Amino acid sequence: MSKPALGRGLGALLAGSPATPARAVAPGAAPISQPDSGERVQRVPLGKVRPSPLQPRKSFSDEALKELADSIREKGVVQPLIVRERGGFFELIAGERRWRASQLLQLPEVPVIVREADDRDVLELALIENLQRENLNAIEEALGYSQLAEQFRLTQEEIALKVGKSRAAVANATRLLKLPASIQSFIRDGRISVGHAKVILGLATEKEQQHAAERVVKDGLNVRQTEGLVAKALSRGTKTSGDKIIAVVPVDSNIGRLEEKLREKFGTKVHLKYAKGKGAVEISFFSDDELQRVLEILGINAD
């Protein structure tokens, strides 16, 4: 289902002319609009088109590209690539799959529409295009959100509005980047699911997280079994530097699931301590903005 939020400048970037009739779309092609009034489709040498370094999607299915290439061989590139001029070349804004498929066919030239766009517009559009087509893996999605936050100083609420997601979805996605690179690789490759990863995030150290992820892959554990594995690890306590040991209250799978629901609700690290009907809920925050967001979720006015 298409997301309505297009972000600052993206409505103008993507908007098509109402008077322009729709054109046929090759199977698997991304839904890109027709030219605005005054725009024109031009054909440029394929070698003059370059991919964007801001493209969050890094992996492309060889099989899907071959299918798209077969369609292009039969019908041609029926949707122009959207590009911007950059240093004597044309940098892709949208349509990298069509560009890659055209390379497979060694086409001499491709149709393009040249538009003005800054880096923020390009990153937002790339995220929206891929998210609407569900082409990003969870780590690519998280990295895209992180880049919008760090490079363009957007809050999670602003990011969520632009990409048509909930703030909690954005927060939970970016939490995956706290995992070690090796576990992120497992997620990219589909060896563990996002559900597994959320449970593994409950462990305090990278060593424990790595061990749990390897067990999941080796033994083919489902998410429920992973919850049991993590609960057992937490019940043993964790050593820190020196000889100091931090005791951890045993956590059964029901408490673990409740803790995960709290993390999803607040979009940050939450620890639930529970024993015989008593305990505490610890909600972590890592900036003033994040504290303000937590207070708003709780319905508390800080003023």
Active-site choice (91, 96, 141, 290): 96
195/193 Cα distance (integer angstroms)? 5
Q: Distance between CA 223 and CA 238 in Å, rounded?
A: 22
Query: What distance in Å separates the CA atoms of residue 117 and residue 147, rounded to the nearest whole number?
Result: 17
Paired tokens of 127: 């995220």
Phi, psi of 181 (to 5 degrees): -60, -35
Give the C-alpha separation, 278 to 170, whole Å: 32
116: CB partners within 8 A, 6+ apart: 84
67 is catalytic: no
Residue pair 36/116 in contact (Cβ under 8 Å)? The answer is no
The closest alpha carbon to 168, from 62, 267, 270, belongs to: 267
14 neighbors 93 (Cβ within 8 angstroms): no
Q: Which of 41, 17, 12, 53 is nearest to 114 (CA)?
A: 41
CB atoms within 10 A of CB 65: 17
Give the whole-angstrom CA distance, residue 146 versus residue 152.
10
Alpha helices in the chain (DSSP H): 10-14, 62-75, 96-105, 119-132, 138-152, 156-163, 167-175, 181-188, 194-200, 206-219, 223-235, 253-266, 288-298
Q: Which residues are catalytic?
A: 96
